[in-house]
Structure 1
């Protein structure tokens, strides 16, 4: 925003300090003068043989006023100079922390997010501001790094199906006798993957903007809907799905929370044992929060691998070679939706194999009060 040039805060504070000092000095001089008037008579008979040979009343107040006013004016002039000089240095000292925050903000504006204010000293308003600004820079730097990594990964993932499509088309051009049906099937598979990836990216983008309408949602009903939708897939893989739990009222987008539950149940089904696997879907109510937990059997998952599964395009090595590897954004979408609802996502490897995924969301006001 373009602004007209104005007086600096340091000058304003200097003038304020000097003005306050002048007012205080003037009040002090006025109080002294009033105090003197109470105890000094207006006229008194003082005999000065040189000036008043006949003797007469001497005007004490007038003489006192003539002596007091020049001294008071000199004191006020000194206070003005002292207030301006002292106020200038005092204002500079007081505003020094703010100057450091401003410099850090300018660096951040130019793209340097690694700089920190790190204001020393005990806690006060300026240090609270500096600490809050440093915390903002930490989050902003991490967010920018995550966005850059996400953009790079997305570009790589989108380039792969496009390159495959180009290669298939080149084969069809150079070899007219190639099986057209096989070529079309492969192109259909590749394009479907590209479409799924694009839609997943759009979902993440919309969710991060938090532009959705919030309303009361029962997570237990959401879990049941997701489970019923995926029952054919579970039967195809020979996986048993068990759903149980309490009514879990939360506030959020029914569509997005259904997407969250569907992604979790889908992952639990397709990344399970080859046969005889089980998926448990549970909802629970805790003080101030509600939880949705999806747990499945499967191969053991290393803790260091589990901590990376929510990152975009991260997949376990055992998942890449399956027919349901997906686009690598299932749990990333879940985490984005959970964070957009002020919730948290926790992934815990099961000792017997498989994974336990828990989504914790704030409960409704009535539930939290109860």
Structure 2
């Protein structure tokens, strides 16, 4: 947006300081003039007790006016010079903030203001700006890392597809049914990855309608959908809890719950494992927890599981391992609903996952 040039803030402050000082000077001069008119006597007693008339108003004005003009001129000069210096000192922190903002505009997010001194409005503004720059730098680094991971994940199925097609082209007389099956599997994985990325982007943008959602019903729906997979792997799913009314997207919260239950099934014991799905309601939040049996996990490994494409090398890998975005999608959906995701290793082995969301407001009772 193009704007017309105007007075600088420093000049405006200088004129404000000088104007205020001038008004104070005018008030004092008027006060002195009123004092002279009221308290200078009309008659004066001279030597030898000779009574003589006092100075007239004209004489007082002729004596007072030049001194008043000199004092007024001094106040004007002092106000302009002093105001300019004082405004410069007051706006010096703002100059540093402006310089940091321009550096950030050029893409340099590593710069920090780090304003010293006691806490005041400028210090609070500088600290808030430093915090914003730190978050932006971390977000940009995360996006760059995510883009690199996406490129790597997409390059693998594309390279495999290219190899399969080259083999089929060079061996046109052979039986290509196996190659077609492999190509179908690779293509399905690429489609799953693309759909997961689209879902992750949708959650990050928070581009969804909010409606009342009961997490306990969503958990039942997700467990019923994944029950055949659990039975095929010899696992048991146990659900319990109470009604947990929240506000959000039913489709996204169903995807969140499905990802958690699927993750608990896939990364479980080879057989005779268990998945526990529980919902509960707190004073101001609702909570969904998913626990599963499995191998021992270290806190260091668990802390990386919600990052994109971090599947965990110590966890059980199967054909159902997914594309490495399951918990990343869960975290993104939870944050889009102003909630939190907590991961912790279970002492008996396996993983404990907790999702907390704000509870739906209780409707006011009808009168």
Do the aligned residues in 2 keep the contact of 1:203 with 1:333 (CA within 8 Å)?
Answer: yes
Q: Distance in 2 between matches of 1:321 and 1:346?
A: 22
TM-score (norm 2): 0.94
Residue of structure 2 aligned with 1:312, choices 291, 308, 311: 308
TM-score (norm 1): 0.94
Match for residue 187 of structure 1?
183
Q: Distance in 1 between matches of 2:175 and 2:293?
A: 41
- Residue 7 of structure 1: how far off its partner (Å): 1.2
Listed one character per residue, the Cα deviations across residues 104-153 of structure 1 (whole Å, up to 9, x for unaligned) are 11111101101111111111111111111011011100000000000000
Listed one character per residue, the Cα deviations across residues 28-65 of structure 1 (whole Å, up to 9, x for unaligned) are 11111112222235x547889xxxxxx98554222111
Q: Work out whether 1:303 is the aligned partner of 2:315.
A: no
Count residues in correspondence: 360
Match for residue 119 of structure 1?
115
Q: Work out whether 1:268 is the aligned partner of 2:264.
A: yes
Q: Distance in 2 between matches of 1:366 and 1:27?
A: 61
Q: Distance in 1 between matches of 2:10 and 2:295?
A: 66
Unaligned regions of 5+ residues in structure 1, if any? Answer: 49-54
Listed one character per residue, the Cα deviations across residues 145-197 of structure 1 (whole Å, up to 9, x for unaligned) are 00000000001100110000000000011111332111111111000000110
Instruction: Map 1:122-133; keep pairs closer than 5 Å.
Output: 122-133=118-129
Do the aligned residues in 2 keep the contact of 1:238 with 1:276 (CA within 8 Å)?
Answer: yes
Residue of structure 1 aligned with 2:103, choices 101, 107, 129: 107
Listed one character per residue, the Cα deviations across residues 289-340 of structure 1 (whole Å, up to 9, x for unaligned) are 1110000011111111110000000111244741111100000000000111
Q: Distance in 1 between matches of 2:82 and 2:319?
A: 77
SS for the counterpart of 2:119 is coil
Residue of structure 1 aligned with 2:341, choices 345, 353, 359: 345
- Residue 2 of structure 1: how far off its partner (Å): 2.1
Instruction: Map 1:13-92; keep pairs closer than 5 Å.
Output: 13-41=13-41, 43-44=42-43, 57=53, 59-92=55-88
Do the aligned residues in 2 keep the contact of 1:226 with 1:265 (CA within 8 Å)?
Answer: yes
The more displaced of 281-290 and 327-336 is: 281-290
Unaligned regions of 5+ residues in structure 2, if any? Answer: none
Runs (4+) of structure 1 exceeding 3 A deviation are 43-48, 55-59, 318-321
Do the aligned residues in 2 keep the contact of 1:40 with 1:60 (CA within 8 Å)?
Answer: no
Do the aligned residues in 1 keep the contact of 2:297 with 2:314 (CA within 8 Å)?
Answer: no
Match for residue 255 of structure 1?
251
Do the aligned residues in 2 keep the contact of 1:319 with 1:325 (CA within 8 Å)?
Answer: no
- Residue 253 of structure 1: how far off its partner (Å): 1.1
- Residue 364 of structure 1: how far off its partner (Å): 2.1
Q: Distance in 1 between matches of 2:348 and 2:315?
A: 18
Q: Distance in 2 between matches of 1:201 and 1:4?
A: 45
Match for residue 52 of structure 1?
none
Q: Distance in 1 between matches of 2:317 and 2:199?
A: 25
Q: Distance in 1 between matches of 2:56 and 2:46?
A: 13
SS for the counterpart of 1:293 is strand
CA RMSD of aligned residues (A): 1.7
- Residue 93 of structure 1: how far off its partner (Å): 0.6
